[in-house]
Amino acid sequence: MRLEWIDDILAVLDNGSLARAAEKRLLTQSAFTRRVRLIEDSIGVELFDRRRKPVTLLAGVEALAPELRDLAMRLRKVRHKLKVATGQTGGTLSFACQHAITTTVAPWIVRAFTAESDASVKVRSCNQEECLMLLLSGEVDFAVMYSVPGEPVPFLERAFEPLTLGGDTLIPVCAPALRECIGATQIPGISYPSGVFLGQVFDRHIAPRLNAQTQVVTKAETALTLAAYEFALGGIGVAWLPRSMVGAALAQGTLMSLEAALPVQRLDIKAFRLSENGGAESVCAWHDILGQIALPEHLKSSAPASDPSQGPADVG
């Protein structure tokens, strides 16, 4: 059983359909479907109930989920130990970065670490849960993610040592052609699945502050912020995106901010490492980040003068 096969099976279980699992695994649905067939052919058994729509795992396979997760964790640890034993990890810093900030924050961390050394940096782009699982399994030295100020760290809080790097804000934006929809009772929207971090942020912190008469009607759903960004540029609907991602588009006028009319949410940018991590290289890297990272001005402060998390609750 290959590790990526286990991850594929668990992706279907966690996301409820082949289509959403394909998106999580960064594959087209057709390519993911072919891979699922390959897994079944290689094992020699059917794993999915194709009589149901959407296609889901058979009940017997779902019951094995705890064992599959444990096996995936152990395989990752063995793979990491093999790399250490053969010297393949020397001189390389590895960190996991949440999809939403891979293109905006990761470059600054890489620059800080490589500025005065010959070391290389490996960046893994994942969703929040995968970032922490890679950290727990020892495959990465640290993880960089968004978090909502005041909310506890996912999983076991005591297992991680946090370091706040800066802040960002999730803001509503749209193409200028959609400016007339503001104030309407129904707003076309680009949404995130409820199972991903930004989907949870919207459900818990943004949707409750919308005007009671305002409904965001989903026109497209994606777990990838870069896809949501492109959908917004294309005039499909309003998307809640990190300010760091849309700054250039706002300046160029290809997107417009709706934060004066719709709620926004402040986010912290945090790095996490395992508590009591005894690896000298990892400790050194952690202190390098603390002392050298130089985020741009719009990402330095995690506490703006006017708290945007208390943004407008009324529309119109």
48 vs 218, higher pLDDT: 218
- In the prediction, which pLDDT does 74 show? 78
The answer to whether 298 touches 307, Cβ cutoff 8 Å, is no
- The token duo for 23 is 């998106």
Q: What is the pLDDT of residues 81-94, one digit of tens each?
A: 666 565 555 467 78
Nearest to 124 by CA among 26, 1, 246: 26
Q: What is the pLDDT of residues 262-276, one digit of tens each?
A: 999 999 998 888 775
- In the prediction, which pLDDT does 2 show? 79
Where do you find CATH 1.10.10.10 in the chain? Answer: 3-69
- Is the model's pLDDT at 290 over the cut of 60? no
For 136-146, what is the mean pLDDT? 86
Q: What is the pLDDT of residues 275-284, one digit of tens each?
A: 755 454 555 5
State the pLDDT confidence band at 123, using cuts at 50, 70 and 90. very high
287 vs 303, higher pLDDT: 287
Examine residue 107 and say whether the peptide bond preceding it is cis (omega within 30 degrees of 0).
no
Cβ atoms within 10 A of the Cβ of 278, count? 7
- The token duo for 312 is 């407008």
- In the prediction, which pLDDT does 30 show? 81
Q: How high is the mean pLDDT of the chain?
A: 80
Question: What gap in Å lies between CA 78 and CA 137, rounded to an integer?
Answer: 9
66 vs 153, higher pLDDT: 66
Tell me which fold the domain 169-266 belongs to.
D-Maltodextrin-Binding Protein; domain 2 (3.40.190)
219 vs 115, higher pLDDT: 219
- In the prediction, which pLDDT does 93 show? 79
- In the prediction, which pLDDT does 308 show? 43
- Is the model's pLDDT at 130 over the cut of 60? yes
The answer to whether 289 touches 163, Cβ cutoff 8 Å, is yes
Q: What is the pLDDT of residues 157-210, one digit of tens each?
A: 567 788 888 899 999 999 999 988 777 788 999 999 988 899 999 999 999 999
Question: What gap in Å lies between CA 173 and CA 255, rounded to an integer?
Answer: 6
Nearest to 311 by CA among 167, 178, 169, 173: 169
Q: What is the pLDDT of residues 210-260, one digit of tens each?
A: 988 888 999 999 988 999 999 999 999 999 999 999 999 999 999 999 999
- Report whether CATH 1.10.3720.10 matches the domain 3-69: no
84 vs 308, higher pLDDT: 84
Where do you find CATH 3.40.190.10 in the chain? Answer: 91-168+267-300, 169-266
Q: What is the pLDDT of residues 55-91, one digit of tens each?
A: 778 888 888 888 888 888 778 777 766 665 655 554 6
- In the prediction, which pLDDT does 213 show? 82
- Is the model's pLDDT at 6 over the cut of 50? yes
Question: What gap in Å lies between CA 305 and CA 301, rounded to an integer?
Answer: 9
- In the prediction, which pLDDT does 221 show? 95
- Report whether CATH 3.30.450.40 matches the domain 91-168+267-300: no
Residue 221 has φ and ψ, to the nearest 5°, of: -130, 135
Structure pTM? 0.65
Strand partners, 147: 268
Give the chain's end-to-end CA distance (angstroms, integer). 56
